[in-house]
Structure 1
Amino acid sequence: MYIKSPTVACDSPPDAPNDFYNYYGLRGVQYNPLLFYRAEQLENLDNKCVLFYDYMSLLPTNVPILSKSMIVQAPRGAGKTHVRECIISQIPKERHIQLKIYGKTVDQYLDKFLSNIDVTSEPQSIKIQKYWTQQRFLQLILTELVSNFVNSKYLQLLKEERSHFSFHTREEIATLLAFYTTTDPDTLCKMVNILLFEKTECFVWDCNIKCDKFQSTDFAKDMFISLKEKHNEIKVKRHTSTTTDVALMILLGVHSKTGVSPLLYLQNDYRDQLTSLISFLNSMGVSISVFVDSLDESIHFFNSEDTNLVALQAFVNSVIDPETLHFALGDWGEYMHTQSALSFYVFIPEVSATPINITWARRDKIPIFTLKWNELQLINYVNYIFGHLRKQSAVACKHLPNICSVLAGQELCIKYMKKLRHPRDFHILFNILIEQINTVYSQRDPPFIATEQDLTYAFEKLQYHILKETLM
């Protein structure tokens, strides 16, 4: 039996829906970007690229959103993280490893780094400035890459592809996996056995190095001590002593089967170790993307003790060092041919009072650009969102108009949009404005359209939010 929906009364204030979202039928829409101030809050979305930043003409016309590596600089709220999510949403999920080095992850590595270096008399920001180098960042990449690859989903691929590699190569990779892994020693043990199946003297489907039990000889004890000393050089590795000891025991198991010291491979510098690992993964058809973002969320970079951002500059230098970014250029390595298996997407906070120096010179290879918004782009951006909301509205008094109709007309709309720096400013302004309009709703005819007084009030409150952000 069909029951007609009741008519919504919109003419008299007492009977009308009592807020902006009810009036325009927007309560319960699946996704309303205007309610969020950070792109990280949108992790539950099926489509991570809801707003197409290339469509909004924010990127240079010769730099598509999926450019093979890029460096983006922008202030908080300009859309760095949303661009990141757009890229991630379009990267193939199969045979691809994403290394997400975000603010909280960076904090964990820097906490470990600061606790492991011997100098204790200087402020933490100065320690980072002096002692955090490109070599430390390479250690971080090695640890993240190995920890992502040591995963049960790659076991079958490893079995299928191992015959394409010499035993020497597989032995080197087994050593790197055991030395840099931070979790899951059981999967590590299975991978080592798959890689070195000849030496385990077993069938392909039943390999088993005794990862936690082998004869404890004086030589083995000395080797274990040497491995621990070598491991202590990794100042940024996230690990527990238990995980480390198990992984090093697996290395001893490898040594007991092959007779080759793992120190032979670990004496190579970090760049050579990373080259070997990337080349191995590339030959198996596994590509890698490195995302460095949310640095403005790190407690080590933005605090009252480091007003000159020396720690942030040191970290950025380690990331955009030419030797680091060279991995993404595609013209190196025995197996790399013409295309690199690794892409870098680096998002750097822009702070007007303390500019961050970006020294990368090969912009023809890895472009650098800044996200900048003008009033017309902001209007288009909001109308794009309004179009999405309008399609999902239900039981509305009126259809949601364009943004300038809501903001008291074209002239005032442009005037106040010019005052805003980026989308986050608008999100904050809009939520303040809607709260203000709802408060005076019963006094208006027609309702839910801002006046200049409303806009002035909302902008003054926005300035307070901006000031708080500046002092953070």
Structure 2
Amino acid sequence: MADGCDNSVIYMPALPQKILTSDKSASSFITVAPYGTGKTLLRCEYFKTLNADHYLKVLILNKEITDYIERFIASKKWNSQYCANHSCLKDWSGDEFAQLMLSILVTKFIENYSQTEIKFIDIPIEKKIHLVTIICYYYNGDSISQLENFVNGFLGKFVNTFFGTTYTASSYKASKAHVQISERNKPLLTHLQNDLNEFGTLNKNVGKLHLLLAIIEGEGFEYESIQKTMLGHVIRDLTDFSSFITKHMEKIPVFIIDGIDENQYLNPNNEVNKISFESFYRSSVCEKILSLTMANYFYLSIFSPKIDGINILDAIVRPDKFPTYTLTWNSKSLYNYADYVLQKLNKNASRTRCKAFTDFKTLVNYEDQHIAKIIDQIPTPRALNFFFIELMKNMNDNANHVKYPFIATYENVRDAFEANREHRRIS
């Protein structure tokens, strides 16, 4: 699964060297790879190699994507049963994808704020109110206290004491704003609520708006705030907030997206909804978003599944600036990979009573032409791994009935291949 990064065996020759650079730098690109070819392995290694001192790494997986898609679908008043039979994301656009990016970026920033020492110097109050408005609209966390902690520090409303943080009498609290809502400020709150509700993907927690209302009134920005809306300006706000992070955290945001092929709305009942998938994919590489990567506001690295019948690469308007990488395997590269893994295992064998095999072909008795014909049909590293799981079961079961234990028989290989093929068919 895309959220699992526990593999310790990294076969580097098969992975694109332009992604895993020697200087461990980030880049913007898309990797289009069939299921089981190492896409997630590559993403895990790429994520780990990026220097946390230079980059704010923003990982977006299936569980994050689902959160925003479900709100989008709910805004259309559709249910999951309807979406199982229809293309519920056909209207999903670059604006929705940008909302997802900005919301996850804001949330990660707020959740990590208490662990960092950021100095906010020379930011005019007008700019601070604009940034706080972005944060309150786009924050996707459950804890309003984290928002309060940030905005009060950002606006200079508390001082640090020897025993911790002490809030002043003028500190902003969502609960205080909720209690003090009066007829005078209801129009502004209604305006904020109506504006936020127009967003199809964002968390509608009203506590965020109570906090924002308190700040706007406390800083004297009621008139300006009721005159403007945030809807329709997500690209501007994504630009502004990314620039804010780069300048004050001294880190460039890096968005890393994986797990698209696991999403229940893009792949209902393990059947790809091609219209929804293509809409979602095209939103992620739309011209408005890619223009920001080219201007170095952030990096965008997408690990996308390759799906037959969907031409997604033509959506990239500047392929020279946003390159595409593929992961391809043939029998030779698979055997080299298998030998690499086997050598890792042989290190364990040397410390036990087990005998180390010299190479992969010896283990599977590849000299037998009938066996070789079966082995050559294995298409990907993942299929090879599942094949070995089944092969071990068969070889262990038959160890007492063969002349040379743990040299595969034709029957071992045949049964393991058939079981593995059935597993891949179901998957």
Structures share fold, TM-score greater than 0.5? yes
What CA distance in whole angstroms lies between the structure 1 residues aligned with 2:57 and 2:414?
Answer: 44
Name the aligned partner's letter for residue 213 of structure 1.
K
The one of 339, 353, 361 aligned to 1:404: 361
CA distance in 2, matches of 1:51, 1:119: 43
Contact 1:172 1:265 (C-alpha < 8 Å) held by counterparts: no
SS in 1 for 2:184: helix
* 1:118-137 aligned within 5 A: 118=77, 123-124=82-83, 126-137=86-97
How many angstroms apart in 2 are the aligned matches of 1:143 and 1:448?
54
Q: Is the 8 A contact 1:147 1:181 kept in 2?
A: yes
Post-superposition shift, 1:440?
1.2
1:51–1:429 CA distance, 2 compared to 1 (3 A): same
The alpha-carbon distance between structure 1 residues 169 and 210, as it changes in their structure 2 partners (threshold 3 A), is closer
Describe the SS at the equivalent of 1:73.
strand
Gaps of 5+ in 2: none
- Per-residue CA shift, 1:402-435, capped at 9, x if unaligned? 1111010357576444312211110111111111
Q: 1:219 to 1:95 in 2, by over 3 A?
A: farther
CA distance in 2, matches of 1:226, 1:58: 51
Deviations 1:237-269 (A, max 9, x none): 2x3x6xx22211111111112211445472661
**Aligned-pair CA distance for 1:169:** 1.8
1:157 aligned partner: 117
Equivalent residue number for residue 259 of structure 1: 220
Distance of aligned partners of 1:193 and 1:67 in 2 relative to their CA distance in 1, 3 Å threshold? closer
Bigger shift: residues 110-119 or 431-440 = 110-119
1:365 positional shift: 1.6
- Gaps in structure 1 of 5+ consecutive residues: 1-37, 332-339
In the alignment, does 2:144 pair up with 1:192? no
Distance in 1 of aligned mates of 2:27 and 2:115: 28
Within 2, Cα distance between the matches of 1:255 and 1:236? 24
* Structure-1-length-normalised TM-score: 0.79
- Establish whether residue 70 from structure 1 lines up as the match of residue 29 from structure 2: yes
Tell me, yes or no, if structure 1 residue 144 matches structure 2 residue 119. Answer: no
Instruction: State the Cα RMSD in Å.
Output: 2.7
Aligned to 1:283: 247
For the residues of structure 2 that align with 1:180 and 1:157, how far apart are their CA atoms?
A: 22
Matched with 2:310 is: 355
**Partners of 2:242 and 2:297 within 8 A in 1:** yes
Distance 1:397 1:64, change over 3 A: closer
Distance in 2 between residues matched to 1:287 and 1:251, nearest whole Å: 27
Comparing 419-428 with 355-364, greater Cα deviation is found at: 355-364
Given that 2:137 and 2:196 are in contact with CA atoms closer than 8 Å, whether structure 1 keeps it comes out as yes
Hey, what's the Cα distance between the residues in 1 that align with 2:261 and 2:18?
28
Give the equivalent residue in structure 2 for 1:97: 56
Moved more, 188-197 or 309-318: 188-197
Distance 1:301 1:351 in 2: 12
**How do 1:32-431 residues align onto structure 2 when only pairs under 5 Å count?**
38=1, 40-43=3-6, 50-52=9-11, 55-59=12-16, 64=20, 68-94=27-53, 96-118=55-77, 123-124=82-83, 126-151=86-111, 153-154=113-114, 156-158=116-118, 160=119, 162-183=120-141, 184-197=143-156, 200=157, 208=168, 209-211=171-173, 212-214=175-177, 215-237=180-202, 239=203, 244-261=205-222, 262-263=225-226, 264=228, 266=230, 269-284=233-248, 285-304=250-269, 308-329=273-294, 331=295, 340-352=296-308, 354-358=309-313, 359-393=315-349, 394-409=351-366, 412=369, 415-431=373-389
Count of aligned positions:
406
Query: What letter corresponds to residue 30 of structure 2 in structure 1?
Result: I
Change (3 A) 1:120 1:387: closer
Query: Where does structure 1 differ by over 6 angstroms across 4 or more consecutive aligned residues?
Result: 119-122
Q: Distance in 2 between matches of 1:288 and 1:410?
A: 52
The answer on whether the counterparts of 1:286 and 1:341 sit within 8 Å (CA) in structure 2 is: no
> For 2:330 and 2:108, how far apart are their aligned partners in 1?
40
Paired residue secondary structure (2:281): helix
| TM-score normalized by the length of structure 2 | 0.86
For 1:431, give the aligned amino acid.
Answer: I
